Chains A and B, each alone.
Chain A
Amino acid sequence: MSQISINHDEVDIVIGALQLDLKSFMEEWRPVFSLFHLIIVKDPDLKGELEIPAGFNFDLYTKSDIDGVVGSSSNAISFSGYSCRYFGYLMSRKKYIISIDDDCIPARDSAGNFVDAVSQHITNLSTPATPFFFNTLYDPFCKGADFVRGYPFSLRSGVDCGLSCGLWLNLADLDAPTQALKPELRNTRYVDAVLTVPARTMMPVSGINISFNRELVGPALLPAFRLAKEGNLRWETVEDIWTGMCVKVVCDQLRLGVKSGLPYVWRKERGDAIESLKKEWEGVKLMEDVVPFFQSLRLSTSAATAEDCLSEIAAVVKEQLAPANPVFARAAETMVEWVKLWKRVQTQ
């Protein structure tokens, strides 16, 4: 892990609060979170007062704030459940945003050291990515590593990193059928690597532990894809998977990088995979269409900003996927509304 000096003023940590009691979550993260400005967004469907310990510098947004800002768009865009964090992204004015689910605590690496996930995310975002050719020694900008023999020199300066996807020890981000089939499966493998996901390669981005460069890709992190029976457990959503693919398409188009790997967080038990399975496997089934769609998506050369890209993606979704399922039609509409909202809020 290279030591980058972080300008704390450039970072917002956005926390989507899906439970009222944030005390243990925030105490665990105190050594790290207390150094930064936090944006806490309360799930608008959650009733009651949030319990937030003292000693943090934060702004809190609740349903009334969301309604106030979003106004007439509130028909198309829902911020409930995991989507509440997107309101935090909308409100932020910082360069880097880091977001971690409220059921995750800091992990420890193989040597037993506390993993500063925020610092690693910032390192990932502020060092170049290398999407145009694969480096077999993973991140070449990491201390102790470099580009290997055979790596073209013209590609060695890399490109800006737009998105950094972290991983999870203990409870990995598996879907409900997989976790139900293997209830004892825990991720204990600490893979000491960050790598750039190659250009035009699609991947499932998990929203559990991510960060991004808001200035470069901000609008692409959007709350568009809601399942009909979306719930409050990750097993009951795929909104982040959809968003992640939009971000990857945007990054590929704008020649930005997406990294995956470190940092790890420790994800705790919440919910029952089998209970989630009793709802339809809606998300799982929809992926069969979503993945090939994004893999074959090509944007026009004139799409030069994240907003342009999203508008084009929305149009193609409406044309190609919407006829098959209303969830896609709603996603396309929401994307269009979101881009308008983003532009409006950002210029205020």
Chain B
Amino acid sequence: MAGATVKPTPLLKDELDIVIPTIRNLDFLEMWRPFFEQYHLIIVQDGDPSKIIKVPEGFDYELYNRNDINRILGPKASCISFKDSACRCFGYMVSKKKYIYTIDDDCFVAKDPSGKDINALEQHIKNLLCPSTPHFFNTLYDPYREGADFVRGYPFSLREGVPTAVSHGLWLNIPDYDAPTQLVKPRERNTRYVDAVLTIPKGTIFPMCGMNLAFNRDLIGPAMYFGLMGDGQPIGRYDDMWAGWCTKVICDHLGLGVKTGLPYIWHSKASNPFVNLKKEYKGIFWQEEIIPFFQSVNLSKECTTVQHCYIELAKQVKDKLSQVDPYFTKLADAMVTWIEAWDELNPSGDDSAKPANGTAK
């Protein structure tokens, strides 16, 4: 049964890295200072490596530009996107921490309906530290939150839940719409504060947005590859989507949970919808094939680690999606390269290869 007492949320300041991709500057960190200052930042600088990115005083950080990525990964650097925020996944790979929080540099602190600043990181930590319930839907949303519980009819055998691998936060103000929707509704703003966290049920995939995202790197890190986007690639703005679909399929297979809902951040910048349309255009057609693919993916019982699952997934991508476009052959290869690079930087005996519950479902 869900706990009744409210315990303070641990900071996890030595167990969590904040990964931020940027191409411009990090002024937005000033607003986040009260919430982020105690954490280590991993900044992945996209674009021109000769540009100096100014990090506000007082933050503890490591910064990687393209030269660093090439130096560290050598030929395997080909799997890391250039001129796209997908490069952020390099930060996940080099991190040595258990948890990652990633946020975009145009995301600011939001206010809850009472006017109070939302500590997004604290809510993500709460989400990650308490179980998920993917096996049966709880109509009162997250049963572990204060003031909530499992409803009548919820089997007791399922009330322990499963470990939470991903916490997907949302955005007030500029919503995460695709280009066609942005073009049709340029003025629409998300003003609805939905006070819920919920587990996305097993067997259901979702569009994961990388703007305000946290995950347990030990449990699911290798699945968080943000694909081949940007420079030299036929597609953009599908990096987080791709990672989300792969991650959810693997979480379902390994018995891990994915949550969505709180916390909200304030998304301040609407990117240019015409630029977005050019980037997304192929994705809009391709997603019609990609979604059924992921919905019917079956991973074999022998896949008991994230890396195994991911490699098998890459094979299936190559087999089944290459007919959609040769891009998917390249992507499948890059997925394998990613895992090789991950394992090189995170040798086994290290936490990242730990299976969740030991048995694949």
Residues of A within 8 A of B (CB): 110, 133-138, 142, 144-155, 165, 167, 172-175, 177-178, 181-182, 185-193, 197-198, 200-206, 234-235, 238, 241, 244, 260, 283-284, 287-288, 291, 295
Contact = CB atoms under 8 A, between A and B. Distances in A.
Given A149-B237, A200-B203, A260-B137, 9 more contacts: A134-B260, A136-B168, A136-B170, A144-B188, A148-B207, A197-B201, A204-B153, A244-B153, A288-B157
Nearest to B283: A150
B176 A203 contact: no
B151 A204 contact: yes
12 contacts: A134-B206, A134-B260, A137-B175, A145-B175, A146-B177, A149-B207, A150-B178, A189-B147, A189-B195, A193-B194, A201-B201, A291-B155
Given A198-B203, A201-B201, A284-B156, A173 B188 contact: no
Interface string B68-112: 000000000000000000000000000000000000000000000
B95 to A, nearest CB: 25
A172 B140 contact: yes
Contacts, number: 178
A24 to B, nearest CB: 25
A179 B185 CA distance: 46
Nearest to B260: A136
Interface stretch (B220-228, B284-292, B319-327): B284-292
B145 to A, nearest CB: 8
Interface string B205-238: 1111100000000000000000000000000011
Contacts of A192: 192-195
Contacts of A197: 137, 201
Contacts of B192: 142, 144-145, 192-193
Nearest to B182: A149
Contact-residue size bin, chain B (C-beta under 8 Å from the other chain) = 35 or more
A145 B155 CA distance: 34
B136 A185 contact: no
Contacts of B280: 149
Contact of A138 (B194, B203, B205, B238): B194
A133 B206 contact: yes
A151 B139 contact: no
Given A136-B170, A148-B177, A148-B207, A189 B201 contact: no
B203 A201 contact: yes
A283 to B, nearest CB: 8
